[in-house]
Structures are given as C-alpha cells and as structure tokens.
Amino acid sequence: MTIDAMDWDGAYREDGFFDGPPPWNIGEPQPVIADLIRAGALRSDVLDAGCGRGEVSLALAAANCTVLGVELSDTAVAWARRSAVQRGLSNATFEQADITTFAGHDGRFSSVVDCTLFHALPIDKRDAYLKSVHRAAAVGADYYILVFAKGAYPAEMVSKPNEVDAYELHAAVGRYFDIDFIRPTPILAKVDALPGLPDVVLPFERDSLGRLQFPGYLLHARKSGSGIA
C-alpha cells in the first residue's frame, strides 16, 4: 500500500497498520508550529489544513485565534471536537472535508497552517490542494507548511510519505503563493519500528521524550494581491 491509498480514518481507529496510535499524534503541536503560535505569527481566522486530532487548532484557539480545522477522517474530527469542548475552546471548530476540493470559505483566512499534510497527499492532488487553499486565503494571508524532506524514510519503504526536496516544494507552492523562505527543521514522530521494515534503524536523534527527529522543511509564503487560481 502506498501513502496514496492510506486509510486515514483506519489509522485513527488504530486498525493495525501502525503498532498503536498513528506516529504523528505527539499529543501537542510540532515544536516549530508551537513557536509560531507563541510568536503570534498566525492571525485569525486560521485554517488548519489536515488538522488530524486538532492539537494545532486547539493551541491556536487557546492563544485566542479563531480557527477552522479541516480533516478527512471522521474519527479524528470527532476527537478534535470533543477536545475543544473539554478545553472550553468554542473558537476552534472542525469540518470533515477533503481539502483538495474544500470550498465555501473564499477569501476568509488570514493564516493557513499545514502541519504535515502536504506529504500525506498524493502528488497528483497537490495542485488541487494548493488551489483550494489559495481560494480560501485572504489577500496577504500567511501560509506555513511543515513537510518531510526527501530521505526522511528509507527508499525501500513502500508506504512512505510523499517527501519533498526544497526545489520541488518551491516550484509547487510558488505557482500560487509568494515564497518567503524554506528552511530545514525537524519533525517529531513516535516511531519505534517502521511498518513492513521492522529491522531498519532510522539514523536520527531522539528528543528527551524519545520521539524521533525526522528531517523536514518549514515553508512560509504569502498570498499576493494579484490572485491567480
């Protein structure tokens, strides 16, 4: 099975593909995204594209942002909604939808955050995704993408994410947005053994909580006033 055929809802239902919960569920936002939230780099309204269980949306809401999390998996959306209620965060709402055909919020969002969605999409869906986000973003909106760098996973892994190199990322996003920077940054994941490759030892350091630090990129771009898409 390639990532393109991934059963995302099954992963959240812990259907056995992963050994337990999905490895990207680290119970908090990725550190680089938490830093952006702390720095006030994301402004209301925020679109959290591919929000999963909603940790980024909920951290944004706790920082007084109005945020909409969009996510394919019903199970993840239900979890995120429950968490918002438990934490008393009515400014975080969640919609079950395919982000590549997402519509109905044209020009609404001042910020868009993609925390490890980009590499989860089939490559031939990237353009439709970027068009959807461009449509939903306000003129001048900030757009942040956190994505695995090429080489994060071994070449022989069949179901690995669609990792990018910086040129590929720049070319894809630059069709619709003005790129400000692309910089290397780690992505944390709770991984002990890789699905289908139990003996492969990944050559990355772990943080103090034992989470592997995979190589990734953080991209920042803006929607210009000229508007295409």
Ligand X SMILES: C[S@@+](CC[C@H](N)C(=O)[O-])C[C@H]1O[C@@H](n2cnc3c(N)ncnc32)[C@H](O)[C@@H]1O
Size of the site for ligand X (CB under 6 A): 20
Q: Who contacts 60 (Cβ-Cβ below 8 Å, separation ≥6)?
A: 37, 42, 46, 48, 67, 92, 113
Q: How far is the CB of 127 from ligand X (least distance, A)?
A: 13
Q: Where does this chain touch ligand X (CB under 6 A) — which range of 34-42, 96-104, 204-212, 215-223?
A: 96-104
* Candidate list 36, 61, 80, 100; residue touching ligand X; CB under 6 A: 100
Q: What is the DSSP letter of 206?
A: B
Q: Of 67 and 115, which has the nearer Cβ to ligand X?
A: 115
Residue 121 is a binding residue for ligand X (CB under 6 A) = yes
Angle at which helices 126-136 and 166-174 pack, to 10 degrees? 50
Residue 218 is a binding residue for ligand X (CB under 6 A) = no
Identify the residue whose tokens are 């925020």.
Answer: 46
Query: E strand or H helix at 132, and its extent?
Result: helix 126-136
Residue 136 is a binding residue for ligand X (CB under 6 A) = no
Decide: residue 103, CB within 10 A, 0-12 exposed, 13-18 middle, 19+ buried: exposed
The interface with ligand X within residues 15-54 (CB under 6 A) comprises 24, 50-52
* Candidate list 91, 116, 162, 185; residue touching ligand X; CB under 6 A: 116
The interface with ligand X within residues 55-84 (CB under 6 A) comprises 55-56, 70-73, 76
